[in-house]
A and B are shown apart, each in its own frame.
Chain A
Amino acid sequence: GAVVSQHPSRVICKSGTSVKIECRSLDFQATTMFWYRQFPKQSLMLMATSNEGSKATYEQGVEKDKFLINHASLTLSTLTVTSAHPEDSSFYICSARDLLRDRDYYEQYFGPGTRLTVT
């Protein structure tokens, strides 16, 4: 149980275009989802927290107009990188919390990640 999928696993896009990454909780309801960015050989940087049905909360320094996050249902969150540039190339990882299961502590279930390359 507690499986999180991401699609696509890899994407290459041209500079100036937009790309959407999907994050799905397959066997539980995810009231809260998180989006991270991971640079090569570095730690995960939290970009934003999204709660179902409300606007995402972005971390300081993350451009909310560039990284659009939508959490329209309890099983799906999307991250859209708008007007992508080569510096947006990175590994994007989502995670989700199962509020019903983990009420007393804050375990997150991670997706496998999406490798974005902007040319």
Chain B
Amino acid sequence: GNSVTQMEGPVTLSEEAFLTINCTYTATGYPSLFWYVQYPGEGLQLLLKATKADDKGSNKGFEATYRKETTSFHLEKGSVQVSDSAVYFCALSDVGSWGKLQFGAGTQVVVTP
């Protein structure tokens, strides 16, 4: 079956540091890949997405590239801010699954001033 594995947290960084959160997946088909963010006390929000191999999703300074050869979708940001403190979820949705999302375990990111 499909699965998503992402690095465990919490990840603690200083403001303006480089952030990377690793995410790898297994899937039988050609899934769409997503990063969702959950800020404290709020619901999940889509951060970025990629629907096919070599696509790069980007939003709010975050980027992730769909790497079919390594089955990865690592999230990166060059300079984090305190406001980026949140839980980040990697997820996939396989074709024909009605859009069901398979989530990774989530990675908590804490950015300190």
Interface size on A, residues (CB 8 A): 24
* SS of B interface (majority): strand
A108 beta carbon closer than 8 Å to chain B: yes
Bound CA–CA A2/B86 (angstroms): 22
Q: Is there contact, CB below 8 Å, between B51 and A43?
A: no
Which residues of B are found within 8 Å of A34, using beta-carbon distances?
A: 99-101
Smallest Cβ-Cβ distance to B6: which chain A residue? A43
CA distance in complex: A93, B103 (Å): 13
CB <8 Å contact, A49 and B98 = yes
In the complex, which of the residues B36, B51, B89, B100 contacts A104, with contact meaning CB atoms closer than 8 Å?
B51
Which residues from B are CB-within-8-Å of A32? Answer: 98-99
Interface centre among B89, B100, B102 (most CB of A within 10 A): B100
CA distance A4 to B42 in the complex (A): 12
Question: Interface size on B (CB < 8 Å)?
Answer: 23
A106 touches B32 (CB 8 A): yes
User: Chain A 77-119, CB within 8 Å of chain B: the 1/0 string?
Assistant: 0000000000000000101010000101111111111000000
| Subset of 28 A-B contacts with CB under 8 Å | A32-B99, A41-B108, A43-B89, A43-B103, A43-B104, A44-B89, A44-B103, A46-B100, A46-B101, A49-B100, A51-B98, A93-B43, A95-B44, A95-B101, A97-B98, A102-B99, A104-B51, A105-B32, A105-B49, A105-B93, A106-B98, A106-B100, A106-B101, A107-B49, A107-B99, A110-B44, A111-B43, A113-B43
* Residue ranges of A at the interface with B (Cβ–Cβ < 8 Å): 4, 32, 34, 41-44, 46, 49, 51, 93, 95, 97, 102, 104-113
